[in-house]
Amino acid sequence: MPPVPRWTFVLLLGLGALGACDMYESDIETVKATETTGATNEAFVTDLAGARGTFAWSARKDEKYGKDSGIVLVEAAVTRTGRSGRKQVILLQWLHNRQTGKVAFEDVLVNGRSRGILGAALDVLELELE
C-alpha cells in the first residue's frame, strides 16, 4: 500500500471541524420553527430586529443541566439601533430537550441583564419611542 499524503490528514481534520459546526443546527431549526408567542420564534426574532436591527442564532449545551442531559440552550442575539443611534442587544433564550422534542422559553437578557418578558417588552418599547 502506498503512503498516504499529508494533505489527506489535513483534509480529514478540516472536515471534522466543519461537522462540529453543524452539531446544534437541528436544535436551532427546531426552536426557530416552534411557536412561542403566537408566531414562530424565527418570525418573532425577525420582527424584533426590525428595519434597523440584525440577529444571529447560536446554540450550546446548558451547564445547568449537565453535558449529557440532552438539553441544549438556543439563543437569538438581536442588535437594534434606535433612532437616536443608541444600540441595544437583546438575547432571547430557549431550551430544547432532545429526548422529548419540547422547546421552552428560558429568559430574555437586555444589554446583559436578565429582564424577563415584561421588562424586555418595556425596554424594546422605550427604544422604539426614543
Closest alpha carbon to 90 in 58, 65, 54, 60: 54
C-alpha cell at 122: 418595556
Kindly list the domain boundaries of the chain, sorted by start residue: 24-129
| Residue 95, number of CB atoms within 10 A of its CB | 19
Q: Quick one: pLDDT at residue 123?
A: 60
Q: Is the dihedral of CA 39, 127, 114, 69 positive or negative?
A: positive
Q: What's the pLDDT at 30?
A: 97
- Considering only residues 58 and 8, tell me which one the structure prediction assigns the higher pLDDT: 58
Query: Quick check: 15 pLDDT over 90?
Result: no
> What cell was used for 115?
429582564
Q: Is 106 helix (H, G, I), strand (E, B) or coil?
A: strand
DSSP at 24: G
Least confident of 72-81, 92-101, 111-120: 111-120
